[in-house]
Structure formats: C-alpha cells, structure tokens
C-alpha cells in the first residue's frame, strides 16, 4: 500500500493531518457495527478498566473503551493492518510499536469536554514521538464536540499539565489561555474521515449538548526509537485506576 507524500509533509509541519474519506461509508458502518458488537458481547467479560462512563450508574453512557485490540481479534487485525499501522509508520517516518485502540464517545446531551492536553504527557517517552490516528464514526462539528487542534504546537515542547477531574482525561494543560484558543482549528468530519496527530500537538474538544452522538476510534502508536519509562507509566495508570474506582468512575 502506498501513501501520499503530501500527508507526511503536512503532518511534519502542522503536527496533524486530515485524510478525508479514508474509509468509504460501508467500511465506516462496518467499524461502527463491530464497536456495538464489542459493547454487547466482549465488554461484559472484559476488565473493569476497559470502559469509562459519563454516569457510572448508566451503562449506556460509555465515554471511552480502551485496549480493544487486546480483547477482540477483529479490532486486533484492524489495528495492525497496513492501512492503519502502515499509515502510522509513514507519517512518523519510523517503525512503530502498537500501544492502544480506544473508542472515544461523547454521548448525546451528556458528553463532557475534553480538556486541552498533549497526549505525550501521558506516554512518558524519550524522545516523545508517537501518533494517534482518529477515525470518525459520526458526522462531527462544533455542535457535538469536534476536535480542535492548535497548529504547529508539536514543535513547542511540553506544556505544564495537572489533574483535570474530567472523567477519562486525567490531566489538562494548566496555562492554556486566550492566545491558544485563538489559534484553535475546529475539525469537522463525517464517518470514514481520519485525522492523525503527533503526541505533542495540543488539542481539546467541547462537550456535546446536542441530540447527536460523537464517536471515533483512536489508534495509538509509539515510534520504535522512542523509549518508554514502562514502570513509571504503569504506576501512573494504576494510581489513576485506583482513584477512578474510589470515585465510582469505572
């Protein structure tokens, strides 16, 4: 499979790239149907840390599924397909290590905000080189909480983060101000569109007060040359899980 050189140039310059119609409508519908199958058939037997809820008392309010490739062969094969993993290699210009497959959801009417952050803060890499491929499964715009990127910020270093108290997003940028907001670019999408962003690119999303769901799959890959502090990262995750369990968020 071949990939467009322009997409690599755009990614290197801007810290993100938008690939319209990366999946056709039938393929996007098939992905969405398999997410629903995962929820109905796989999630009941998966670890508690697989799902996060906007309202822990409402099983329909799932706002994130994670580690899906570890629990289902269909998603494992999709994750490591040339169409996905190959694109990650092309954009990073490196071999990649697959880390996570997540379903991001903002349920209609109750989906909360995603605080401004850089994915790399969670990843604990040196150098901090990783990528998230974000596959839209709905029609997405400002009305239901589209992603907002700040162009070129992958080149500006890590901003300070602290605990955000937003379910599923443990940390947010502490000094994100009007100058950053003024540079945001809201990204509209339809099912099958794919965005890719660097681990250091600042981004956020508003809540979803609309009557429409806002869902997407996120494929996370680390560059093979990036070294992860695995012990520190695992300790961090375990601390978060313990906090969320005490708060009833899992």
Q: Which residues pair with 147 in a beta bridge?
A: 205
For residue 175, what pLDDT is reported? 95
Q: How confident is the model at residue 59 (pLDDT cuts 50, 70, 90)?
A: confident
Q: What is the pLDDT of residues 150-184, one digit of tens each?
A: 999 999 999 999 877 665 556 899 999 999 999 99
| CA pseudo-torsion sign 107, 108, 112, 113 | positive
Q: What is the pLDDT of residues 91-114, one digit of tens each?
A: 999 999 999 999 999 999 999 899
What phi and psi, each to the nearest 5 degrees, are found at residue 2? -110, 150
Q: Please report, for residues 80, 192, 211, the alpha-carbon distance to residue 25 in angstroms, rounded to integers and kept in the order given.
A: 21, 6, 22
Cα separation, 42 vs 198, in Å, equals 30
pLDDT band, very low/low/confident/very high, at 240 (cuts 50, 70, 90): low
Instruction: Please give the full DSSP string across 32-64, using - where no structure is assigned.
Output: HHHHHHIIIIIGGGS-GGGEEESSTT-TT-EEE
Residue ranges of E strands in the chain: 16-19, 51-53, 62-65, 96-106, 114-117, 125-126, 130-136, 147-150, 161-166, 169-173, 184-186, 194-198, 203-205, 214-223, 227-228
Instruction: Report yes or no: 113 and 206 within 8 Å, Cβ to Cβ.
Output: yes
pLDDT class for 1, splitting at 50, 70, 90?
confident
236: Cβ–Cβ under 8 A, 6 or more apart, which residues?
A: 122, 124
Domain 5-246 has CATH 2.60.120.620: yes
């Amino acid at each position: 499979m071949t990939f467009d050189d322009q997409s690599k140039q755009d990614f290197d310059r801007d810290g993100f790239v938008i690939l319209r119609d990366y999946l056709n409508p039938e393929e996007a519908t098939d992905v969405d149907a398999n997410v629903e199958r995962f929820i109905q058939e796989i999630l009941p037997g998966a670890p508690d840390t697989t799902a996060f809820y906007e309202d822990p008392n409402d099983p329909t309010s799932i706002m994130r599924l994670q580690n899906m490739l570890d629990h289902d062969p269909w998603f494992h094969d999709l994750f490591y397909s040339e169409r996905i993993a190959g694109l990650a290699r092309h954009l990073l210009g490196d071999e990649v290590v697959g880390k996570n497959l997540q379903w991001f959801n903002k349920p209609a009417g109750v989906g909360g905000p995603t605080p401004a952050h850089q994915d790399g803060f969670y990843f604990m890499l040196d150098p901090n080189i990783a990528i998230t491929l974000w596959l839209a499964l709905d029609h997405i715009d400002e009305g239901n909480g589209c992603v907002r990127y700040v162009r070129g910020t992958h080149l500006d270093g890590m901003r300070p983060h602290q605990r955000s108290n937003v379910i599923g997003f443990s940390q947010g940028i502490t000094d994100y101000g009007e100058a950053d907001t003024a540079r945001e670019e809201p990204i509209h999408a339809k099912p099958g569109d794919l965005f890719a962003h660097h681990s250091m690119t600042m981004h956020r999303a508003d809540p979803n007060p609309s009557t429409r769901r806002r869902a997407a799959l996120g494929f996370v890959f680390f560059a093979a040359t990036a070294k992860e502090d695995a012990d520190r990262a695992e300790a961090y995750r375990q601390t978060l899980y313990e906090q969320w369990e005490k708060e009833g968020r899992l």
